[in-house]
Amino acid sequence: MKIKRYSLTALIIFCILAGGLFAYSYKVFLSTAEKDASETRPRKFLAKRAKVRTHLYFLGANHRFLKAEERSLVQQDSVVERARSIIYALIDGPKGELLPTVPAETRLVALYVTEDGIAYVDFDRAIREKHPGGSLSELFTIFSIVNTLTLNVPEIKAVKILIEGNEAKTLAGHIDIRSPFRPDILMIK
């Protein structure tokens, strides 16, 4: 009978200890999971992000020059993130009286910046297929992208345009895009 009572007491103590250990482990697991979730959540949800004044270059109503449209974009942490947000805004088009330079159906496939300041901007084929055509229109599209990136992101010195991950000879049949472009201020009024 004593052995039964000791066995029962030992079993109760074991269950209490095991339950306590389980509860402690579960609490540690939850706190770790919450910490991991907060670390992987985009920062824009953790705190308000500052905005930075950005000049996007679109075609003027006279079809002769690029003109700046000022926007306030969320300040991004890295050069690539800043460049991406600028390209997305450029694809979205102007908000005012200016005219778009990049077809609205265009999607950014990839973007990276080399250590020597060349931004490789890779678009899907819509930039070619939906482009209105003409050499002047091509120039405006190219320098809208180049001037907008180089004049807003000081780390970017030149821009190389790719289509679907490949080097293309032209954007829409006229202007050779096999080499990176530097900004051209003469395109802006």
Q: For 82-92, what is each residue's pLDDT tens digit?
A: 999 999 999 99
Residue 13 pLDDT exceeds 90: no
Residue 175 pLDDT exceeds 80: yes
Strands 166-167 and 158-163: antiparallel
Token pair for residue 57?
A: 């270059």
Determine the Cα–Cα distance for residues 60 and 97; give it in Å rounded to an integer: 8
Asked whether 127 and 90 are in contact (CB, 8 A), the reply is no
Residue 161 pLDDT exceeds 70: yes
pTM: 0.73
Asked whether 60 and 96 are in contact (CB, 8 A), the reply is no
Mean pLDDT of the chain: 84
Among residues 89, 111, 86, 91, the alpha carbon closest in space to that of 101 is found at 91
Residue 76 pLDDT exceeds 70: yes
Token pair for residue 139?
A: 């120039």
Residue 48 pLDDT exceeds 70: no
164 Cβ contact list (under 8 Å, min separation 6): 109, 122, 123, 124, 125
Q: What are phi and psi of 87, to 5 degrees?
A: -65, -40
- pLDDT band for position 6 (cuts 50, 70, 90): low
Determine the Cα–Cα distance for residues 10 and 181; give it in Å rounded to an integer: 80
Average pLDDT over residues 146-163: 97
3-state SS, residue 172: coil
For position 155, what pLDDT does the model report?
97
Determine the Cα–Cα distance for residues 65 and 49; give it in Å rounded to an integer: 33
- Bridge partners, residue 110, by sequence: 122
Average pLDDT over residues 73-81: 92
In angstroms and rounded to an integer, the radius of gyration of the C-alpha atoms of the chain is 28
Residue 178 pLDDT exceeds 70: yes
Least-confidence region, from 23-32, 48-57, 177-186: 23-32
- Bridge partners, residue 158, by sequence: 118
Average pLDDT over residues 114-135: 94
Higher pLDDT, 108 or 38: 108
